[in-house]
Chains A and B, each alone.
Chain A
């Protein structure tokens, strides 16, 4: 079983729709949760960063973390064609011996104009 599970999609939505992207994880030591956006043939770009449980909002993006369910979400409001990309969740524990991020496999999002 992978430490982080993410539906690969593709997820196709019309412009203006609300998009919900999700990841589940198995390692209860994960405390830091991130969402990266990756355009084709580009490097991942940090979108959202949250610590422990709760919500964080930044413009059209909202990140939610539910540690009790080991479940994180990214919501995109008023989606735009420019949001079409692969979205990767990433996590990290506070374990000093493990600084690297663990990534989900990514969800490909297509926003149709």
Chain B
């Protein structure tokens, strides 16, 4: 029973390039959350998606960032025209349903480095 799978584990981009981060939720889970973590800081919520729907994107920067969770395939977090400040660890978590008591399980993260 595989856990939450994220790839790549490490991603290096030059300023101005695009970054695509992928997240495959646990089997049977249809809810995905994306978080960003800067060094020595906690996780900051970015976006919450269900299959084919963005439910809450209140933590997502208004420009350059987008996320999707298609009917088939992994959830994608896309960062266009990356800048040095985008360098961080990006984690996704999945949940089976959207009830308040639902537990979130995290992947191992993608470390994005912008040169």
A89 to chain B, nearest CB (A): 9
Q: Determine whether the beta carbon of B106 is less than 8 Å from that of A43.
A: yes
List residues of chain A with CB within 8 A of the CB of B45.
100-102
Nearest residue, chain B, Cβ from A51:
B101
How many residue pairs bridge A and B at CB < 8 Å? 64
Q: Which residues of the partner chain A approach B42 to less than 8 Å between Cβ atoms?
A: 4, 6, 88, 103-106
- Contacts A88-B42, A88-B43, A105-B41 known; A43 to B100 CB distance under 8 Å? no
A43 contacts B91, C-beta separation under 8 Å: yes
Residue of A nearest to B98 (CB): A99
Instruction: Please state if A99 and B56 are interface contacts (CB–CB under 8 Å).
Output: yes
Q: Which of A44, A45, A103, A104 has the most CB of B within 10 A?
A: A44
Number of interface residues of A (CB under 8 A): 30
Number of interface residues of B (CB under 8 A): 27
Residue B72, interface by CB 8 Å: no
Q: Which of B7-58 contact A (CB under 8 A)?
A: 31, 33, 35, 40-45, 48, 55-56
Nearest-neighbour CB distance to chain A for B87, whole angstroms, equals: 15
Residue interface bits A15-31, CB-to-B below 8 A is 1, else 0: 00000000000000001
Closest to A95 in B: B100
A41 within 8 A of B: yes
C-alpha gap A104/B44 in the complex (Å): 9
Q: Which residues of B contact A8 (CB under 8 A)?
A: 40
CA distance A18 to B40 in the complex (A): 24
Task: Specify which chain A residues have a CB less than 8 angstroms from the CB of B101 in the assembled complex.
Answer: 32, 51
What is the chain A residue whose CB lies nearest that of B43? A103
Binding site for B on A (CB under 8 A): 4, 6, 8, 31-32, 34, 36, 41-46, 49, 51, 88, 92-94, 96-106
Interface residues of B (CB under 8 A from A): 4, 6, 31, 33, 35, 40-45, 48, 55-56, 59, 91, 98, 100-101, 103-109, 111
7 closest A-B pairs by beta carbon, nearest first, are: A43-B106, A103-B42, A105-B42, A100-B45, A43-B108, A103-B43, A94-B100
